[in-house]
Chains A and B, each alone.
Chain A
């Protein structure tokens, strides 16, 4: 019989959200154990060196989280956090570097830039972009009895208070396109912003989530974060700071320790049992105060909680949660000479015209729909000609010169190039249609190469050394939090966002009828993914309400937070409300 262990809180999953939650709770003085299935923590915040001297980012690339309270509250700088500054790149959004259409660069007009700036809260004095971001992402959903309207939804409150001319009731129903069309004229620019929203969590054509979609873009652009958006050590370096904050405050994080079961006794989560292959052994670990699942919501319910502990009605709703829309095919290219733009895609006026990545085929709604119809509608393997495929790509020149992505002599690495593809679980061509055989993999690598070759002139066989790619399905199994290869867990549509995420009865991170169990995965919690340190911050409000944790004087609650009646308010000093 294995020896039992007991902690205040047991967290399942050492990805971004699980580890950030551990940091918050350990800093509050609780004994915390985090159990991770993979050999290394970090989840989507990964860096790899697949061959000596060449580093690639298979998942998260940009730092979206610049406005997080976590920077102050967790003091990540103490654990070595640094951003990287790149003197080659402009800090402000450069209107010369406009979106790329098939024929070349499309310049963005000053008026359109100002239009965008207005929407995201940069034109007032002082600007209110940070309030807007915090209200959107860093505020827990309201208690279920609060009526949601233009006066209670946090980002609507911010617009009402700072930019009343923009604030209308209809905004709640609008798509991101609807909002942009009020202030922006250039279609390519709108498509460009829409595309960034699409690959960041919320689709620009979804009604009811227009503002969150806009904020997904605003949070990764200046001034919310510096441009470029790389942390030193890349996204895994950002993870290291969170991880070390958790460990430095006493959290124990064990890798290669998959969980078999959340132990539920008398309607309360009291611990977990590890799987047979856990290096710690298949032992039982007790949780005095809470079990927090920071792994995907589907396995959390289907396997860890299990059908014996929930009714079939709830299980059906869990099964129905949509994984659609967040699946990306990722490609990195290793070449002998650096990539070169074709002349019409050189965006700098003067030499050198270094390759600095691209957003391609940001042209018009027709192409937008052509891509989306294939990915979301027909859900079959892409049949779009490479020249009409929409994609984005990062280049090695986006990183600081002191953080080279390749230190391999005579080798340049550029990527990832990401392409929206159907989610494997919904792909009518089959779950493994993209990666069943080596030839399938090769086919999509060649597709990525062909579409990149629309703007690059030297991706020929002589120049190309190697391609690394990963399909959504490969992402899912190397990183089990990415079920369906979905980057933001579940779709961020009006039925799965804010007070509906993942389901109305769980929007405040609690699980109905199971006490002491909380949800902290991007698929199970507002606001979802993007490594924002937001799920943990929002969850803290709820854990304070339930008396699980009493953070120190460093804690502050979201100004838009509404405490639940009868619970302890997360606003310091407010007591029970």
Chain B
């Protein structure tokens, strides 16, 4: 960053936001978690400032004109998996600001070169039907297993997202009390790959399920994360789309903050968290303004929060070590956004497959998928096994295309694949165009109309671009840090901080690097709001959701 302290203009012609101001709470980062925390705390009567580096709030809840001019895309978070459970959606009437969710039954299709396809649907039996084309046994297994998993997710895992993290041993003891809980414990020790291969025999079925389970960064071979298998599969069958684009969720939350008297300062880079006598004293903005406060919530990644803003010298040594040992995501995403004359038309025998919310292609089987993931971890991409998922956004949302009438039939789509931040043989700057061609070649193979003549415009957002747009998604880490057992649950980001309260007095953390993690779960923001209101006092006007209360009562011993 350029060294510059803001200066007061010699002839201010009207009143501006002051150079120094006092706050009960200052929240850094207006991503989903920062917005949620600010909305709860402002409504509780605290004086809240929410500061955001970008010109627009939302973080990953971004809908922007990245296919300029005239075509909008939710180029980051688009598949909302926790709409059914997020307390913030129960506690605030965001519908009054025009927030509308769509949850299509046809959630996902996986298509193959010979025209075969397999579907994953919101309603279990539609998936069962689709699986039965490949294996009657798998179909029955899916139908039975998914029913039980859905109960586990609904009763335990989903509500626990919004309950403070517990030690693994405490969870085990609690879960042993009930049959559903015991079944879940059997899963925990298995890897996603084990779970899928133990239960299912057909390769296409396995491929479909494993891709959905591992999309957000679970290592297929990692043991100890089996609990997420049930969660992700169930939630990937229940993805919602935010009409008008994901940014509408951010904007609705922003309106609730402002209505409750909170202040949002965007285009405000925080360059320092001020400390005084070992305690948090305020936040300094690059432009030269200081927000004085005894309570700071950071929703940024651990290195930015602790090393760049607080400073290593202000940290207990074990906390410093833990932050320095933090592992960022092992893979990121590369996304090719397109404007095309026609929407992608895949050539499967099942006509529904082109109209699913998400279409997976590129993998002819599970081995190819595993090879691709191994490649990604090794910094490679290979045309042969490159695969990922695509969505035609404008098929679900006509508001994304704003061009003259003779062009208004055009469609906005994207293809997204797991990708290394450090791409071998020259990196993204050099190989970006080559990778784009690789993708287009692959896309045309599965959707024959996606050839050159059909494509009007493209914009590729590489892992490097993710980091440029959202600097605390370091190394393109969309979750601010890897999902590995030592960085999950009460260990996220570490045992000292996973409750959201840190050893630095007055500093709280609430972003994707904190329990329960990223992907617009809205967990960190909710948990940190609970913690701060408990510590600072103030009117806690909200209660746990019904699902949370039932989970606490039934499984966690009240």
Please name all residues of chain B whose beta carbon is closer than 8 Å to the beta carbon of A474 when the two chains form the complex: 69-70, 403-404
Query: B456 contacts which chain A residues (CB < 8 A)?
Result: 438
In the complex, whether B468 has a CB less than 8 A from a CB of chain A is yes
Per-position binary interface string of chain A over residues 66-110, scored 1 when its CB falls under 8 Å from any chain B CB and 0 otherwise: 110001100101111111110100010000000000000000000
Minimum Cβ distance to chain B for residue A429 (Å): 16
- The answer for the CA separation of A237 and B261 in the assembled complex, in Å, is 18
Asked if A558 is at the interface of the complex by the 8 Å CB criterion, the answer is no
| Whole-angstrom CA separation of A53 from B286 in the bound complex | 17
| Known contacts A252-B96, A402-B4: A55-B13 contact under CB 8 Å | no
A71 and B244 contacting across the interface, CB-CB below 8 Å: no
* A478 and B402 contact, CB distance less than 8 A: yes
Q: Beta-carbon contacts of B29-41 to A below 8 Å, as 1s and 0s? A: 0000000000000
Interface size on A, residues (CB 8 A): 74
Q: For the complex, what is the distance from the CA of A479 to the CA of B55, rounded to whole Å?
A: 19
- B415 contacts partner chain A, Cβ-Cβ < 8 Å: no
CB of A477 within 8 Å of the partner chain: yes
User: Chain A, 372-406, contact with B by CB distance < 8 Å: what is the 0/1 string?
Assistant: 00000000000000000000000000001111100
| Interface SS, A side | loop
Q: Is B406 an interface residue (CB 8 A)?
A: yes
Chain B interface bracket (under 10, 10 to 19, 20 to 34, 35 or more): 35 or more
- A247 to B259, Cβ gap below 8 A? yes
Across the interface, B266 reaches (CB within 8 A) one of A66, A237, A279, A407, namely A237
Structural contact, B11 and A91, CB atoms closer than 8 A: yes
Q: Given A47-B55, A77-B15, A474-B70, is A277 in contact with B263 using a C-beta cutoff of 8 Å?
A: no
Interface centre among A47, A82, A475, A479 (most CB of B within 10 A): A82
Residue B167 interfacial (CB < 8 Å): no
How far apart are the CA atoms of A40 and B6 in the complex, in Å?
A: 30
Q: Which of B60-68, B117-125, B170-178, B313-321 contacts A (4 or more CB under 8 A)?
A: B60-68
Digitize B233-264: 1 where CB-to-A-CB distance is under 8 Å, 0 elsewhere: 00000000001110110010001001101011
Q: Is A256 close to B, CB under 8 A?
A: yes
A224 in contact (CB, < 8 A): yes
- Which B residue's beta carbon lies closest to that of A473? B404
Which of B16, B244, B268 is the one whose CB lies under 8 Å from A256? B244
Interface pair B16/A77, CB less than 8 Å apart: yes
Q: Are B402 and A233 in contact (CB under 8 A)?
A: no
Contact yes or no, A255 B251, CB < 8 A: yes
A48, B64: Cβ atoms closer than 8 Å: yes
Q: Kindly report which residue of chain A lies nearest to residue B404, judged by CB atoms.
A: A477
A551: Cβ under 8 A from any B Cβ: no
Q: A49-B64, A52-B461, A226-B11 are in contact. Are A81 and B16 (CB under 8 A)?
A: yes
When distances are taken between beta carbons in the complex, the residues of chain B under 8 Å from A556 are none
Given known pairs A49-B469, A80-B263, the reply for A476 and B404 (CB within 8 Å) is yes
Contacts of B399 in A (CB 8 A): 38-39, 256, 277, 279
Cβ of B245: which chain A residues have Cβ within 8 Å of it? Answer: 39
In the complex, what distance in Å separates the CA atom of A468 from the CA atom of B67?
10
- Restricting to A457-478, which residues have a CB under 8 Å from any CB of B? 468-470, 473-478
A407 and B468 within 8 A (CB): yes
Does B433 sit within 8 A of A, measured CB to CB? no
Contact of A71 among B15, B265, B288 (CB under 8 A): B15
Please state if B65 and A50 are interface contacts (CB–CB under 8 Å): yes
Give A442 Cβ to nearest chain B Cβ, in Å: 13
Give chain B residues whose Cβ lies under 8 Å from the Cβ of A78.
17, 263
B278 at the interface (CB under 8 A from A): no
Closest beta carbon of chain A to B426's beta carbon, Å: 15
Cα distance, A247 to B465, chains bound together (Å):
33
Contact call A55/B402, Cβ cutoff below 8 A: no
B16-A223 in contact (CB<8A): no
A228–B68 alpha-carbon span in the complex (Å)? 26
What residues of chain B lie closer than 8 Å to A84, measured between beta carbons?
287
Q: Which residue of B lies closest to A51 (CB)?
A: B459
Contacting residues, chain A, for B244 (C-beta < 8 A):
39, 255-256, 279
A280 within 8 A of B: yes
CA distance A84 to B287 in the complex (A): 8
The answer to whether A468 and B69 touch across the interface, beta carbons within 8 angstroms, is yes
Q: Are B98 and A255 in contact (CB under 8 A)?
A: yes
Q: What's the minimum C-beta distance from B422 to chain A, rounded to whole angstroms?
A: 15
* 9 tightest A-B CB contacts, nearest first: A71-B14, A52-B465, A254-B98, A233-B267, A256-B244, A50-B68, A52-B469, A53-B468, A52-B468
- The interface of chain A, by Cβ under 8 A from chain B, is 38-40, 47-53, 55-56, 58, 66-67, 71-72, 75, 77-85, 87, 91, 222-226, 232-234, 236-237, 240, 244, 247-248, 250, 252-257, 277, 279-280, 400-404, 407-409, 432, 435, 438, 468-470, 473-479
Can you list 22 A-B contacts (CB < 8 A)? A39-B63, A47-B55, A49-B66, A49-B469, A51-B66, A53-B469, A56-B68, A82-B16, A82-B287, A83-B12, A85-B8, A226-B12, A234-B55, A253-B97, A253-B255, A400-B4, A402-B288, A407-B468, A473-B404, A475-B69, A477-B404, A479-B402
Q: A40-B251, A82-B16 are in contact. List 4 more A-B contacts (CB 8 A).
A: A256-B399, A279-B98, A432-B406, A435-B404
